Amino acid sequence: SQTIHQWPATLVQPVGSPLSLECTVEGTSNPNLYWYRQAAGRGLQLLFYSVGIGQISSEVPQNLSASRPQDRQFILSSKKLLLSDSGFYLCAWSIRQGRGEKLFFGSGTQLSVL
């Protein structure tokens, strides 16, 4: 069966420090991968999605970047965190075929930038 791992669960970082959040998927090949951010009590904002290794689409210009070095690995990074980067970050995957198939989410990372 397919599983998605996202870590760490919580992270407290000072302003100006770097960030690296990792997400891996098991049990499937060639998934679409996504990074979402959720502000407290709000909906999800799509940050990045990827349809293949090295293929990254950015939805919102910001202080973050994403990379997909392997088929089932998706990394969210920042060189210098801002206070506004605080939030709940969610990784998700879907099957490659079709349009808009259902998403499977990781358990999320609560990032606090202080």
Partner 1 sequence: SQQGEEDPQALSIQEGENATMNCSYKTSINNLQWYRQNSGRGLVHLILIRSNEREKHSGRLRVTLDTSKKSSSLLITASRAADTASYFCATVFQGAQKLVFGQGTRLTINP
CA angle, residues 74, 77, 82, in degrees to nearest 5:
145
Does 111 interact with partner 1 (rule: CB under 8 A)? no
Query: Residue 102 and residue 72: Cα distance in Å, rounded?
Result: 17
Does 42 interact with partner 1 (rule: CB under 8 A)? yes
Report the nearest approach of partner 1 to the CB of residue 54 (Å): 17
Stretch that binds partner 1, among 14-22, 69-77, 79-87, 95-103 (CB under 8 A): 95-103
Does 43 interact with partner 1 (rule: CB under 8 A)? yes
Instruction: Work out whether the CA dihedral 26, 38, 83, 34 comes out positive or negative.
Output: positive
Tell me if residue 30 falls in helix, strand or coil: coil
Stretch that binds partner 1, among 11-19, 39-47, 65-73, 74-82 (CB under 8 A): 39-47
Q: Which residues bind partner 1 (CB under 8 A)?
A: 6, 32, 34, 36, 41-44, 46, 49, 51, 59, 88, 90, 92, 99-108, 110
